[in-house]
Chain A
């Protein structure tokens, strides 16, 4: 983390994101915000809040409900001198804009032989737990992690949310930020002023000798809660916060596997063909494989759409008891 100094306050994740955008709007006239209801409404999750009153409708632009077109406008603006931050109201709506994100933003630089860059930032409120059911609760970050040309981050703390957003704005390429909706109200220490968190670097949130849990976004917090419970039983779990899934911090993950010999991948996206599959394969293809004392466990989303009923919804994604149970099984060698 590079910091500009100053104090540290408690801010919510949403407030930290807003502060990052505030800093960017104040310091760089090229920065604009675009999205549905991000103006006087303040954004569906109140992330942009009052920014329209301070920077005006020319820079905090309410778009029509046109995700494909809106994303494309942001991309075209990024190619021609602006630094747009485009907010999708829900990450699920990225499905309406796949063409522009995947065919255009990700590929334009390469297709054009490096003649232009596309410095666009896109923000995606993601994840389940809000009772919004199958079309407003998905975790699609792995889809985008599959596309060369994109960078994909998923901050888990308010400080990272701010630092990664500011890093994304300084990045010359498209950066997609997946923000878990349950984190928006979570508070945490956030440094004042401008600082960045490097894209592509994981963070060890809790060291541990017996096993490592690699997680992202809300799952980091569930993993930490599980690690606390496990510690009381004498099992010391290391918790690694991915922070970025493209590029992914291979070194930090493999090093943790070499040290602990046991790996649990926890992610909210559907388990099959998800982030955990990639991490598992990364281990299997490396020398870290020789350090494994037990099979790898993947805890991912159920093979079903996210359901509405609260009990079903909880059951559809990994929860703390699932992580604790998996860790006990691994540490006890009972697999």
Chain B
């Protein structure tokens, strides 16, 4: 959780004011972990070690880490098909994530879910979702539980720009608003739902404008600026915890890679991709930390090396895991075996 607000005359960026050095170093490490995890997952895919496809969020790391920075383990998130970053930002173990990619019994879903269904309920991650918009009503249900059970938890509901045209988005926002539930609808607007741009798919120029239809605050921030993301989400979670209801935070960002491994990038230009790659959120945050004396250049390099080491150990753990037994094909369809 963020620390009490500093004095008004403090002109440093929000994240520097609100979080201590350990939290900030941890945030940078998690951004490196997400980047390295996805690069290693992609490399594993290229080598034929990963069955099926995957949806990479390289370039979007500031959104996941910024949104989760102020959350506790009892707070919940719902995630999307592009959810590796959310998992890591909420504290998932990369070894068990890789094991899931490799279809191992030691994976988060014991090899039953793969890249699109990783969940970590113990850490408050209710799971990625293969259906665009599928997690939105579930997040509202999680917030309803928190309110009824008085847990004080908030739920951060990640969704992409593509989901904002699903009926589930509108139904979920409306119900969260009429019942004043502690949920933050966090739109990762990476500009394309698969190949279709928001300009071609969405009648309003900003997803956040849709908040007005559900009488909740809606803000749009630079999703490659972790401080801006954290500031907006922390304000929204504070509002939720205070019983004032839901908020919509739209983070403008970009996925460097295609939608999935089948994407040939026919719908966007090299210039556009390169322009966004020049706005890489990770060096930007690292430079901020160095400028404010939180970390030295050497410490930044050490954090990157540490992430690489964790990723390597995670891959090692995943490769060593056992495959599921075919005899267990129907295990966990039900909690108790059918009579």
The finding on whether chains A and B are genuine partners in a shared complex, rather than unrelated, reads: yes
A residues near B (Cβ < 8 Å) are 30, 32, 58, 61, 63-64, 66, 68-82, 84, 99-100, 103-104, 108-117, 148-149, 151, 172-173, 198-201, 247
Tell me which residues across on chain B come within 8 A of A103, comparing CB atoms. Answer: 130-131, 134
Q: From A66, which residue of chain B is reached at the shortest CB distance? A: B171
Q: From A198, which residue of chain B is reached at the shortest CB distance? A: B339
Whether the pair B336, A172 counts as a contact (CB closer than 8 A) is yes
Whether the pair B144, A76 counts as a contact (CB closer than 8 A) is yes
In Å, the complex CA distance between A82 and B150 comes to 12
Segment at the interface with A among B64-72, B135-143, B227-235: B135-143
In Å, the complex CA distance between A232 and B330 comes to 48
Within 8 A of A (CB), among B99-116: 107-113
Whether the pair A109, B332 counts as a contact (CB closer than 8 A) is yes
Shortest CB distance A235–B (Å):
32
Whether the pair A113, B140 counts as a contact (CB closer than 8 A) is no
Number of interface residues of B (CB under 8 A): 50
Segment at the interface with A among B3-11, B119-127, B268-276: B119-127
Interface presence of B331 (CB below 8 A): yes
Interface presence of B219 (CB below 8 A): no
Q: From B178, which residue of chain A is reached at the shortest CB distance? A: A64
In Å, the complex CA distance between A292 and B142 comes to 52
Tell me which residues across on chain B come within 8 A of A71, comparing CB atoms. Answer: 137
B residues near A (Cβ < 8 Å) are 76, 78, 107-113, 117, 119-121, 126-127, 129-131, 134, 136-146, 148-149, 167-168, 170-172, 174-175, 178-179, 330-336, 338-339
Tell me which residues across on chain B come within 8 A of A104, comparing CB atoms. Answer: 129, 131, 134, 138
Q: From A249, which residue of chain B is reached at the shortest CB distance? A: B339
Whether the pair A77, B167 counts as a contact (CB closer than 8 A) is no
Tell me which residues across on chain B come within 8 A of A79, comparing CB atoms. Answer: 126, 138, 141-142
Whether the pair B168, A72 counts as a contact (CB closer than 8 A) is yes
In Å, the complex CA distance between A151 and B338 comes to 9
Check A110/B144 contact, CB under 8 A, given A66-B175, A104-B131, A247-B338.
no
Tell me which residues across on chain B come within 8 A of A110, comparing CB atoms. Answer: 112, 332-333
Pick from B107, B119, B134: contact of A100, CB under 8 Å? B134
Q: From A117, which residue of chain B is reached at the shortest CB distance? A: B335
In Å, the complex CA distance between A63 and B170 comes to 14
Check A76/B138 contact, CB under 8 A, given A66-B175, A110-B112.
yes
Q: Which 3 A-B residue pairings sit nearest by Cβ, starting from the closest?
A: A76-B141, A72-B137, A69-B171
Check A113/B175 contact, CB under 8 A, given A76-B137, A104-B134, A247-B338.
no
Shortest CB distance B129–A (Å):
8
Tell me which residues across on chain B come within 8 A of A172, comparing CB atoms. Answer: 334-336
Pick from B167, B175, B339: contact of A64, CB under 8 Å? B175
Shortest CB distance B123–A (Å):
11
Pick from B111, B119, B148: contact of A58, CB under 8 Å? B148
